[in-house]
Amino acid sequence: MSTTTLFSPYRICPIGAHIDHQGGAVLGRTIKLGTTLEYRALDSKEIRITSDQFGKAKFLIGDLDKAHWVRYAQAAARVLNPKRGMKAHVTGSLIGAGLSSSASVGLAYLKALADVNDMELTNEQLVHLDFELECTELGLQNGLLDPMSIIYGKKNALLFMDVVIGSVSPIMDPPSSDSVWVVAYSGVSRELTKSGFNVRVAECHEAAASLQNGAWKLGDVSREIFEAKKMSLPENLRNRAEHFFSEAERVSLGRQLWAESDAVRFGQLMNQSCESSIINYEVGSEVLIQLHEITSSTNGIYGSRFSGGGYGGCVVALAKADLAESACTEIAEKFLALHPELPSKVFVVETGDGLQ
C-alpha cells in the first residue's frame, strides 16, 4: 500500500481572543508551520502512530486515554468510527505553543482516517468533527476559530469568520503590503484542558444567562442589554462580558482596517485586545505579559497579543517588513535576559494555505 502525506497548518488569530465560543466573529489565518502526517491504510481496526518526539503507540478504534500523547488520534477515530485503521508518522514543531497545534493534528488525523476509509468529508463536516473531537471527546469548551482557520486558510488573505452561520470571508492582503507576522514563543508550552480556559468559558455562559433569560452565550445578548444591566453582574462576570463585547467590536473594526491596509491602527487593536484579555478576561501568565510588553514596545512592531489563550505559549505580532528581523533580534535578547532558563525563540513567520 502506498503512503500519502498531508500538511495541516497552525493558525494565528490577530484579533478575536476568547469570543468564538460565545458566538463572536473572529479574524484568523494560517502559517507555514504545522503538522505533517504520513499514513497508509491497515486492513484492521488497529491504528499505529509514530512520532520523532513522543515515540510510538498503537490502539484500537474506540480506545481513549486522555493522558496519552496519542489521544488526538484516538479521539479522531472515535468521532469518525471508521472500519479500518492506519499506520502513520506524525511530525510537528512548537507543539503546545499557542498556535493551535491541537486542532492541526486533530484535523490531520480526521482527514487521513477518512481517506483510508474512502469517506468523503466536506470542509464544514471537518470543522464540526474537529470541534466534536476536542469538546466532546477531550473536554475542551472551545469554539470554531481553530478548525475554521485551518480548513479555510489562504496564504494571501486574512479570514473574517462568522462562527454562528459558518461563513468565511477572505480579506485579501494588499499587493503593496509592508507588514509581516512575527511569532515570539515564550518557551512555556501549555494545554488548554489543564488551564483556566474552561473556567472562563463557564463564566461567560453564566454572564449571558444572568443578562437575558434563556441566553446560553454572550452572542445571544445585545450590547444594549449588557450596558443596561451590567452593574447587576458580579465583577468577574461583568468583566468577562465587557471583554466579549469590546473584542467583537475590535474584530469588526479590524476587518475594515485590514481591507484599508491600515497596519498602524490594526496593530493598535491587537494591543487593545491583549490589554482586555489581561484586565477583563484575566488571563496571561507573568512570563507572557512580559513578552507582550517587550514585543509591543519594540521599534518596528505595530502591535501584539497573546496567542493560545494567555496560559503560556506565544505572542503574535504585526511588524513593519523592513524592521521585522531587527525587531525579532531585539525582542529575543530582552526576553532572554529576563528568562535565560526558557527555550524561547522569536522569528518572522510566513503565511500559508489551509489543510492540504
Active site residues: 146
Q: At what angle do helices 145-152 and 101-116 cross, to 10 degrees?
A: 60
Question: CB under 8 Å to 248, separation ≥6 — which residues?
Answer: 19, 24, 25, 219
Q: Could you please report the per-residue DSSP string of 93-142?
A: SSTTSSS-HHHHHHHHHHHHHHHHTT----HHHHHHHHHHIIIIIT----
For 1-27, give one letter per residue: b (16+ CB within 10 A) or e: eeebebbbbbbbbbbbbbbbbbbbbbb
Give me Rg for the CA atoms of the chain: 20
Instruction: Specify whether the CB–CB gap between 157 and 172 falls below 8 A.
Output: yes
In the sheet that holds 313-320, the strands lie side by side as: 301-307, 313-320, 179-188, 345-349
Per residue, the 3-state secondary structure of 299-356, as one string, reads CCEEEEEEECCCCCEEEEEEEEHHHHHHHHHHHHHHHHHHCCCCCCEEEEECECCCCC
C-alpha cell at 292: 507582550
Question: CB under 8 Å to 245, separation ≥6 — which residues?
Answer: 218, 223, 226
C-alpha cell at 67: 493522558
Please name the residue that has the C-alpha cell 491504510: 41
Instruction: Specify whether the CB–CB gap between 90 and 35 falls below 8 A.
Output: yes
Spatial distance between the Cα atoms of 247 and 218, rounded to a whole number of angstroms: 12
The pairing of beta strand 26-41 with beta strand 157-162 = antiparallel
